[in-house]
Structure 1
Amino acid sequence: MELKQISTHIYKLTVETTVGIPIIINTWYVVNGDNVYIIDTGMASYTDMQIKTAQLLGTPQAIFLTHGHLDHINGANSITEALNIPMYAHELELPYIDGVLPYPNKNEVETTRVAHKVQPLNPSLNMPFTYYLTPGHAPGHVIYYHNEDDVLICGDLFISNSETLHPPINKFTYDMTQNINNGSIIDKVKPKLITTSHGHDIVYSEDIYPLYKFKYEEQ
């Protein structure tokens, strides 16, 4: 488990765990003055660390979710109850978080333990970043851009290493073609740094997405 400051206002918590396969899970804390905003919550097994980290950095204000898959939302119930803060996700993701619908590539609904507790994102919310809808991995998947730090928090839009981007795991992605096409957002935003839920941070360049698309799009 490692807490790392990746920019002036953003800290990343990296945890090595097993969710079917050994993976790393990254979650983020965006500090704005005395306020702290949590992006994704990881698994319930380390919520105590999530809570302590948020409180160490300031006064927790809200949880913002990239999407509702369990490795991103499993700790949300414990964290929101302990800190008494609201949670937000894109409105297109709420039927899956609420257990009303199964994800398009699944037969059973998710058990998130936060059904009907997550509120829809909207641009008028007091948050120190903006969001972009990037469906494909999940119908309401979003990414968050911190303009001042020029950092793009990409959730599962990509898996990354320090030099290249890769698609998310296919079995958890309902429309890979759409996901790959929506990755073009990085060439519109042109952030200084790209950070993903399962991988290492990568410095943006104009070559990254064209190579990714050429390698992984269906011919």
Structure 2
Amino acid sequence: MKFVQISKHIYRLTYETVVGIPVKINTWYVVDGEDVYIIDTGMEEYAHIQLKAAKSLGVPKSILLTHGHLDHINGAKYLRAELNIPIYSHKNELPFINGKIPYPNKVEKETTGVEHQVEAFQDSVINTLPLDVYETPGHAPGHVIYHHKDDNVLITGDLFISDAKTLHPPIKKFTINMEENINSGRVIDDIKPSILSSSHGEDVKYNDKLYTIYKFTYE
């Protein structure tokens, strides 16, 4: 378990667990005055640590999801019960989060524990956030990423897996449309963040060859 500050307003909690294979799961806390925005909720087994981390930074305001896969939403039930704060995702994720249908590449429906409790992003909500929200479909239909302009940090969810210098695609088995996912990644050249922070991996510094090499290698 590691809890670190990655920029002036953003903190990252890293937890190692087994989800089929051993993985690192990153979740984030964005501080805006007294408010704290939780990005993704990881697994329920460490949701109590997420709660402690969020409260140590201020007053939790809302939970923002990159998408509805279990390793990103499993802790949401506990956090919502403890904090009574709204949860937001892209509207295209709601059928899967609500257990109405399974993801296109899965047989079974998700059991999230927050069925019909997650709200779709509206402009009125997005406009109040200290973050810009970008649609990046491919890994999941409603996958989104979050950019903190002041810190110039891009929280990329499962758009990429990263090491300290390189970007890699997410696991193919859990990705609905890899070609679309790779094309969605070009957004980093529009944003040009100082740091990219992914859900599964290390933070990586941006450079103008990062996406070009990624696309050439994996397209």
TM-score range, shorter chain: over 0.9
Aligned to 2:90: 90
> Partners of 1:93 and 1:157 in 2: how far apart?
15
Q: Find the residue that maps to 1:154 and give its secondary structure.
A: strand
Unmatched 5+ stretches in structure 1: none
Q: Find the residue that maps to 1:50 and give its secondary structure.
A: helix
Aligned to 1:156: 158
Q: Find the residue that maps to 1:99 and give its secondary structure.
A: coil
Normalised TM-score (structure 2): 0.98
Aligned to 1:166: 168
Aligned to 2:191: 189
Normalised TM-score (structure 1): 0.98
Q: Find the residue that maps to 1:215 and give its secondary structure.
A: helix
Aligned to 2:100: 100
Aligned residues: 217
> Partners of 2:63 and 2:155 in 1: how far apart?
14
Q: Find the residue that maps to 2:129 and give its secondary structure.
A: coil
Superposed, 1:17-56 pairs within 5 Å as 17-56=17-56
Aligned to 1:180: 182
Q: Find the residue that maps to 1:93 and give its secondary structure.
A: helix
Aligned to 1:117: 117
Which AA in structure 1 matches 2:36? V
Q: How far has the Cα of 1:62 moved from its partner? A: 0.2
Q: Find the residue that maps to 2:124 and give its secondary structure.
A: coil
CA contact (8 A) 1:66 1:143 kept: yes
1:165-189 Cα shifts (integer Å, max 9, x gaps): 0000000001000000110000011
1:59-110 Cα shifts (integer Å, max 9, x gaps): 0000000000000000000001101100000001110100111101111111
> Partners of 2:200 and 2:176 in 1: how far apart?
18
Q: Report runs of 4+ in structure 1 exceeding 4 Å deviation.
A: none
1:15-58 Cα shifts (integer Å, max 9, x gaps): 01111100000000000001100000000000110001100100
1:104-138 Cα shifts (integer Å, max 9, x gaps): 11111111111100000123212110101101000
> Partners of 1:13 and 1:138 in 2: how far apart?
23
Asked if residue 9 in structure 1 is aligned to residue 39 in structure 2, the reply is: no
Aligned to 2:134: 132
Q: Identical aligned pairs, as a percentage?
A: 59
> Partners of 1:127 and 1:56 in 2: how far apart?
20
